[in-house]
Amino acid sequence: MARCLAHARRKFDELARVNASAVAAQAVARIAKLYRVEAQARDAQVPELTPKQRLEHRQQHARPLWGELHVWLRLERTRVPDGGAIANALDYSLKRWEALGRFLLDGAVSIDNNHIENLVRPWAMGRKAWLFAGSELAGQRAAMVMSLVQSAKLHGHNPWAYMKDVLHRLPMHPNRRIDELLPHRWTAAATRETTGS
C-alpha cells in the first residue's frame, strides 16, 4: 500500500508556517527537493514518461534524496523530546516510511494523492449544502450522478454531453446492454451512427 507524501509534508508545514520548529522548516525543504524531481519528470518530457521511465528517473534522482531524508529524520527524532508537535510529525513519517516510499518501487504510483483529492474536493466542499437533499434516497441518487459526472471527466468526456446523450438514449436502450452507457464504455450517439455501431 502506498501513502501520500503530501500528508506527511503537511505535518511539518503546519509547524514551519508559524515558525514553531526549525526542524519542520528543514523537513519541508528536503521534501520539496523530491517534488522538484517529480516536476522535472512531468514537465520536461513530452510525451509523458511511461511508468518504467518514471521509475528510472526516480531511482536516479529521488532515491538518493529519499535515503538522505530518512537518515536525517531518524537523527532529528533522537534530538527531540517525546510528545511535542515536531516529535509527532517525525513519528508520522517514520512509522509510515515504507508506504510513503512506495513511489520509488513502482513508476505508476504517484508521490501523493493530491490529484485525487482535487477531484473530490467539490463534493467534499458541498457536503454541508447537500445535507438536506430531501431524503436519504435523494442523497444516494445525487451521489450516483456525481460519480457518473466525475467518471465522465476522468475518461475525457464532456460531462454535459455525456449526461445529455445517456439520458436521451436510456429509455430505449436494452437493459442487458446498460453497461455500454457507463463512462468508461460510452460512445456518443453521433459517433456510433457514423461508425455503424
* Residue 97 confidence (pLDDT): 93
Q: How many CA atoms lie within 13 A of 103 on its CB side?
A: 20
- Mean pLDDT throughout 85-99? 94
Confidence of residue 191 (pLDDT cuts 50, 70, 90): low
What's the rounded Cα separation, in Å, for the pair 61 and 138? 50
* Residue 190 confidence (pLDDT): 56
What's the rounded Cα separation, in Å, for the pair 179 and 21? 54
Cell of 156: 475525457
* Residue 54 confidence (pLDDT): 87
Q: Could you report the per-residue pLDDT of 16-72, keeping only the tens digit for each? A: 888 888 999 999 999 999 999 888 877 765 567 788 988 999 999 999 999 999 999
Q: Could you report the per-residue pLDDT of 99-145, keeping only the tens digit for each? A: 999 999 988 888 888 777 777 777 666 666 666 667 778 878 887 88
* Residue 112 confidence (pLDDT): 86
- Mean pLDDT throughout 11-18? 90
